[in-house]
Chains A and B, each alone.
Chain A
């Protein structure tokens, strides 16, 4: 809705920084973002609503003797930008100096990362977005007549610019397209359901038409779910559950959490944290990657970062502040207020997911779950949202009311297989993992 272009956004960010510096800040940076999204929601197989959203905001950080003040405001106007800059500087003076703060990111060349902006997604119409999801209703019902489809399709476009008082000036336009669907199948009191999605940064990589049929096919498999006996068993994480687990582990590698002594990975740099089969690379430079970008939130140029090599933690995830504080190399993981991984790429194993499952005599397969370990304690305790009992190498029956638990440091050492096949999403490689010695709790059953 706002008419500023990317260069204008940079000028606005620069004006905010200058205002902060004039107001007494030692350092300042400012980000400006504007964007628009269009979404269509489906409820019970019928289109429910069509929405379009526009946003525009300025966020300024000012530093005074290392103390941080920040201010954010709506809009992309120069007056608002300057006001936010002055406010951030004023607030920084109210905080206390931080001896760990050195400076902000210095200007540097940025990498080329292709495929993050698709002009066709800026021009996409609501009718086209509606087609992404209504086609999936037919697709799901082609699999199961009485499938109930609920979900959303969305196209988004945004421009982001960041400047700091040291001369950093970076802009990043972006686009994305997503479809998220939940399919429910009822047979009396019995319910089978599944969640599927597709996401991409460009239309060329977007293939939403398979989402509905896939969700319906999976939902059918989850009818007649049962409990199982409580025990300690091998657990196979399917691609989605595995990705959630690994993301949780990477969150504990945040240097902010480590430096504040809030992580189970404190003191583990260059130490073994997982079985030898685990190698992870964080790669924000993948063309069209869902979490790809040319820079992090501080304006530091993104780089490919080996995170875990054959089970050994190679580095913590840093932003400019934590890297300076510890005297380590900046890995470029600032989210401007936090630290987060980008595209996590595990090295693949030599056996397929089917072969890994076939080796399990008695265990559990977890398709969907939120098995994030607690960053401080490493404790993981999660509900199996969708999963199967494995018996004699076969998925036998779907599970209900079943939980899995363990300590992340032990679970990572108990990791004994990563599949050679994987679910591919833009910038993401999602293989299957197998963990030994996971505590499985349920009601009764076999």
Chain B
């Protein structure tokens, strides 16, 4: 008898014995739990459950993959929406800052050159924002480990 089967038999015996002790009707009726355990413990089940589990995982992989993707996109959407909340404030502040910068630079260099410098700086800021927002899905994918499963 394997350890598993022995454990199963012992716990099973306990279950039936416990029931017999609690159940007046079984005591009166003279039900012998040992005899029942003896017969029931002859049940031998040889199943290749690990193999079935492997096949189950294969079968469920597309379902899980779709769910992981759905969860991931939901997280991305939430993160992007949250990141967009302070954006109007940031844009307003930057606009004010660029106007101020333009005024200051105009005092030092010709207007055309000052405009070129400020517009270049503004373009740099826009690029910086775009990169920051684009990084959100990458950061989420990295933290969740979804990127690897999604592509591999």
Q: Do A and B come from one complex?
A: no
Q: Which residues of B contact A (CB under 8 A)?
A: none
Which residues on A are within 8 Å of B, measured CB to CB? Answer: none
